Amino acid sequence: MATIVLGLSGALGHDPSAALYIDGHLVAAAEEERFIRDKHAKNRMPLEAARFCLRQAGIAPGDVDVVAVPFAPIPLSSPARWHFARRYWYAPDRALDALVNGNRRYRRYRKRIFELLRTLGIDPARIEFEPVEHHLAHASSAYHLSGFTGKTAILGVDGKGEYATTFFGYGENGRIHKIKEFYDPDSLGGLYGALTEYLGFEMLDGEYKVMGMAPYGDPTRHDLARLLHCDGKELRVNTRYVNTVGLRRYKENGQGFYFSPRLIEWLGPRRHGDSADQPYIDYAAAIQALYEDAVLKLMDHYLGDILRETGRLAFAGGGALNVKLNQKIIARPEVRELFVQPASGDAGTAVGAASHALVKRGIQPEPMEHVFLGPSFTTAECLAACARHPGQPVHQVIDRMPEHVARLLAKGHPVAWFQGRMEFGPRALGGRSILGCPSVAGVADRINEQIKFRERWRPFCPSMLDRVAPQMFKVNHPAPFMTFTFAVNEEWKTRVPEVVHADGTARAQALERRHNPRYYALMEELERLTGNGVVLNTSLNRRGEPMVCSPEDALAMFFGSDLQYLAMEDVLVTKPGGAPDG
């Protein structure tokens, strides 16, 4: 009999998701936000995501054997709760709560999970319930899905889970061994998030915008070292400025932030608006440099010996989505292979908890080679969505859609590309994308201003044929998930300028044909037309919205922007003024 494990995340109040394994095969995984159209789905549970996983697997709710969650009770004997209480002395209600009622959040979450299971038709009394420590779930999602054999260093950097914020360990013979954890409020993810709020973005959403802003600034103009003590062995965040709670928090229009008024007194007023200007671009550059320096120092101290022995590193947690840090890690001589879990944030912990539960039962999960794990829709379903839409969209069925779209791109038209199964994780990788030709001048600005409605300075990323990546980049390293940036060779900076960032790098997806043949065929045709097997790729959504999931979502986004072309399976939708042949 096959073992069926359902992983459910959402304990921390954001990014709930579901993942389903049948033995070692990951059949489905998806974020709740995509189904309910609410970005990050805060304070929601993964009901629709779980329903999708069960449908995709073709199983009844009663067939589920194990439910695994990435949140577990932490005993009073753990140093975590005592550290929390000591460091939050200035908020005695929270400090005392950590000692006398430190698993309150876990008990509340467990109750909500059991309510969710009953709604799904799963009897909590008839399944094995497996709570997994949050950072252990992150670690499992990286190590067990990396495909690495032999001893592997494991790094986890996040805001926080139950209490832990940062994880150092190693995997060997399928088992994860913990070397060191740091605890709240000493959180590098929290520190970066606090500066994200100060720089005018939303914590847990805007960190990648800070990272995108950083190359425009000078990290040497402002010394942010007082925010953090990190000598490689110890990590201590200065809670007089950041990672603050209670009365220490800065408040603006009734909203409390994760930093104190002292930060405003020191650095000046919080940034507002969409412009990337002084001194905020320099602050972005400085916090990026401080973050990189701290992670690399800690990695050297706690994982250096293992890395020099094996050369393999598996990395997860929200901090692993910092692609500039990942570029620095790859550059280290002791690191030969780096696997970054593509859904590194908390959504990925559904996979992590489920994979951990599998390994505990003697089943090895398969390596994660792609993220096309969400829903797919047939051409007939796309046609039906067009027929139901009140805008009565002009559409027709097109033979050889990849070649057709490549011709539109080569003529300078952005195209919405809705094909196959939706991606799991934050990156559009050729399932739900907006595409452009990276050699057409101005196409990036056009997509930013007229389609995505986002800041002009935000960069775009390239997808490319796997054989093109070694030609385009100065470092040859697998890049299937857009989790790394690479320095671009000079020739390619002029060949595909629309996907090269201000610092001469690009965050790349190097695609193998077997993982998405249709997307690969599009890039092959674009190479024939332009000489470059590279396409500009950004997620199919507007600012502040989740990536689209269904044909109805795609049509709503299409009519809410200046897009002229939408390719849904074999259906090409056009607006007046846009001809089917471009």
| Calpha distance 533→520 (Å, rounded) | 9
Query: Quick one: tokens of 374?
Result: 């969400």
* CA dist list (Å): 149 to 54, 178, 290, 333, 361: 31, 18, 33, 20, 19
| Calpha distance 283→77 (Å, rounded) | 40
| Calpha distance 280→296 (Å, rounded) | 24
| Calpha distance 461→483 (Å, rounded) | 11
| DSSP secondary structure string for all residues of 91-130 | SHHHHHHHHHSTTHHHHHHHHHHHHHHHHHT--GGGSEEE
Beta-carbon count within 10 A of 324 CB: 20
* Cα–Cα nearest to 188, from 78, 94, 89, 320: 320
Paired with 432 in beta bridges are 418
Beta-carbon count within 10 A of 531 CB: 10
Beta-carbon count within 10 A of 477 CB: 19
Q: Among this protein's residues, is 14 annotated catalytic? A: yes
Of 14, 134, 395, 413, the catalytic one is 14
Cβ neighbors of 463 (< 8 A, separation 6 or more) are: 429, 430, 433, 508, 509, 511, 519, 523, 534, 535, 537
How close are the terminal C-alpha atoms of the chain, in Å?
53
| Calpha distance 537→133 (Å, rounded) | 35
Active-site residues, by number, are 14
